[in-house]
Amino acid sequence: MNEIYRILDANFNRARESLRTIEDCGRFVLNDPAITAMAKTSRSTLREIYEKMPTDKMLMVRNSGADVGTVMTSPTENVRADSQEVAIANCKRLTEALRTLEEYCKVVSPDQISSLERMRYDAYTLEQQVANRFMVAGQFERVRLYALLSAHLCQSNGIINVARQVIAGGAEAIQLREKDTNDDIFLAMAAELRSLTDETNRLLIINDRPDIAAIVGADGVHLGQHDIPINEARHLLRPGTIIGRSTHSVKEARQAINEGADYIAIGPVYPTRTKDHPPVGIETLLNVVEAMKDSGISIVAIGGINEDTAGEVISRGIKCLAVCGAVCGSDEPQKTAKKLRSMLPDD
């Protein structure tokens, strides 16, 4: 039985150390409250499980000096390219340790198996969240339907309900756009949308407010022409955060790319009540698309996009549509989103 106690002791240590490493990454590298909280909660759960184990016996048989594994290393074990590799390696180390604990507890403490199993599945989710946060900048390339939501436009259905419906309808990204909302209410909505987009593996972008985006761990921010510079916004945000910029001309589009924008929104293409700027028209949109064709940057058509106008924009080569009134004002947001998404390409 002593050998099993040694296995349990070693793997509780591995799991605890891995969780601390992941928590520090979430806290200091990603500035992400959700990942930090998940890792911290898991550490607390692990401690509760550990306290129900025969810890005295496990400690008594610990013999690090005679452990043959301490002198065995793989060629890549001491090499990590960056903090992303450190975090992902420890996520995998965590799930491996939990699986070992789960198996050997069948011999010593079977009543802890279900708790360890739940922890292991939570660890898989944690690994997914960590990986997504590091890879998020490239994820905007897959966005085709981009839903811009604000509470005052979603009053009849409620902003969270509309968000759920447009995601079910196929929207890959949600933007929270609040111009005249108190910060505490804005923050609460952003946090709730962050939970929803995490749950559904969608992107969350916050309009104008890098501070709110940083607090809730949003995937990105969208900045207008007169908002803070992109490089200044990046100082407030974790590495890899998406930053989009509103543009109205070829000149502004080029400037946004030079500043380091991850995507540019062109518009308003058509008249709309949600934008103060006069419509730029379809020709300006085409001029921007032509000028940016070799840039590799994502281009989003915005302003007055609905079921009637989407076809013209898509036929001109646009692969991503930003919609606001079309879904916020719809009696059936999911149905509207589904129809719009069906018009867009998948590649």
Q: What per-residue confidence (pLDDT) applies to 2?
A: 93
Same domain, 82 and 171: no
Same domain, 17 and 102: yes
Alpha-carbon distance 210 to 230, whole Å? 10
pLDDT exceeds cutoff 90 at 275: no
CB 241 within 8 A of CB 219: yes
Same domain, 159 and 304: yes
Query: Which residue, 76, 108, 137, sits at the end of a domain?
Result: 137
Same domain, 23 and 109: yes
pLDDT exceeds cutoff 60 at 298: yes
CB 261 within 8 A of CB 245: yes
Give per-residue pLDDT as tens, 241-260: 899 999 999 999 999 988 88
Instruction: State in Å, rounded, how far the first CA of the chain is from the last one.
Output: 56
Same domain, 124 and 169: no
pLDDT exceeds cutoff 90 at 190: yes
Determine the residue type at 148: L
Alpha-carbon distance 102 to 117, whole Å? 7
Cis amide leading into 268 (omega within 30): yes
Domain count, the chain: 2
Range of the domain at 147: 143-343
Q: What per-residue confidence (pLDDT) applies to 206?
A: 98
Interval 169-176 mean pLDDT: 98
pTM score over 0.85: no
CA dihedral 256, 313, 161, 219 (to 10 degrees): -20
Highest mean pLDDT among 273-287, 291-305, 314-328: 314-328
Same domain, 49 and 89: yes
CB 292 within 8 A of CB 253: yes
Same domain, 74 and 169: no
Question: CA angle, 220 as apex, 38 and 330 as ends, to 5°?
Answer: 100
b/e string for 267-297 if b means 16 or more Cβ within 10 A?
bbbbebebbeeebbebebbebbbeebeeeeb
